[in-house]
Amino acid sequence: MSLEDVFRTCAAQRRAALIGYLPAGFPTMPESVELLEAMVRGDGDTPGCDIVEVGLPYSDPVMDGPTIQAASGQALRNGFRVRQLFDAVSAVAAAGAAPVVMSYWNPIHRYGPDAFAGDLRAAGGLGLITPDLIPEEAGEWTAASNRHGLDRIFLVAPSSSERRLALTAEAGSGFLYAASVMGVTGARDSVSGSARDLVRRTREHTSLPIGVGLGVRDAEHAAEVGRFADGVIVGSAFITRAEREGATGAGAFAGELARGLRAEPASTAER
């Protein structure tokens, strides 16, 4: 299975892919595995996430809002080590979803990009999302990811120029991560119009699928974003639900989000 296959399957079902995010080791390593499995399983009625972004907890997460900062901090305080990331990735793969990792660059640089790529691939990982690595600085990662057959998922933002959209689309593979608003991660009350605009602008430069993240709070938001994006990324809201209701809650939330994406009448005009 590749990321491309996942998006193709979802498109055939005339829906956007559900992409969930959770930091590995949150709140502890065993509990994070349970949560990730529940996010994939869904709630019994509806299967959950098609793709799961396993977050690598980091001491200095500058792109993250309070929810993910706190969750990452908790994982680190509970002793999370980078090598445990791959167990979480394996768990997602075993549960039947497509695992990717989201990580700031320094821990990967420290681990060694080639060793990291090899271990990620061996664990069943399909790609890496790099919130602070732009294509111009990604030479080492491009070589490592090519060698080990991993997708490179870069971010585009409302502030990205046409030139940068083209450059980023060209350098990326698997899908493009569109940051819906200018800001950090975190659930928001509404999904900004800038997301729709960014997806429209990005499509002019690429045929890669586009996932929209930042601010998606609930099934209603997810459905709204699913009308114009190929993937809907939900992170902070999963953490909040998991904190309140544990794995059962995470599974139930995944089911709600997935139903939101399926219930919508497909308006392929926008997609």
Partner 1 sequence: MTVRDPDEANGVGGAHATSGGHDPDEGGHFGPYGGRFMPEALISAQDELAEEYDKARNDPEFVAELDRLLRDYAGRPSPLTEAERFGAHAGGARVLLKREDLNHTGSHKINNVLGQALLVKRMGKRRVIAETGAGQHGVATATACALLDLDCVIYMGATDTERQALNVARMRLLGAEVRPVNTGSATLKDAINEALRDWVTNVADTHYLLGTAAGAHPFPLMVRNLHKVIGQEAREQVLRSTGELPDAVLACVGGGSNAIGVFHGFVDDPGVRLIGMEAGGHGLDSGEHGAALTSGTPGTLHGARSYLLQDEDGQIAEAYSISAGLDYPGVGPEHAWLADSGRAEYRAVTDEEAMEAFKLLSRTEGIIPAIESAHALAGALRLGRELGPDAVLLVNLSGRGDKDMDTAAHYFGLVPEAGITGEDQQ
Q: Which residues of this protein are in contact with partner 1, per CB under 8 A?
A: 58-63, 65, 69, 73, 76, 81-82, 105-111, 131-134, 136-137, 154-161, 164, 168, 179, 182-184
Judged by beta carbon, residue 155 or residue 237, the one nearer partner 1 is 155
Listed as own residue / partner, the contacts of 261-264 with beta carbons closer than 8 Å and 24 or more positions apart are: 261/15, 261/16, 261/18, 261/222, 261/223, 261/226, 261/232, 262/13, 262/15, 262/46, 263/223, 264/15, 264/223, 264/226, 264/227
Least distance CB 121 / partner 1 (angstroms):
20
Q: Is 218 a catalytic residue?
A: no
CB nearer to partner 1: pick between 161 and 207:
161
Taking the complex as a whole, how short is the minimal distance between the CB of residue 216 and partner 1, in angstroms? 17
Residue from 37, 43, 50, 64 carrying the catalytic annotation: 64
Specify whether 53 is catalytic.
yes
Cis peptide before 27 (omega within 30 of 0): yes
Cβ at position 52, least distance to partner 1 in Å: 22
Report residue 254 as tokens.
């995944």
Handedness of CA 50, 75, 182, 103 (dihedral sign): negative
- Two structure tokens written together for 224: 């709204």
CB of 124 to partner 1, least distance (A): 21
Instruction: Identify the bridge partners of residue 186 per DSSP, sorted by sequence position.
Output: none
Q: Which is nearer to partner 1, 2 or 194 (CB)?
A: 194
Give the active site residues: 53, 64
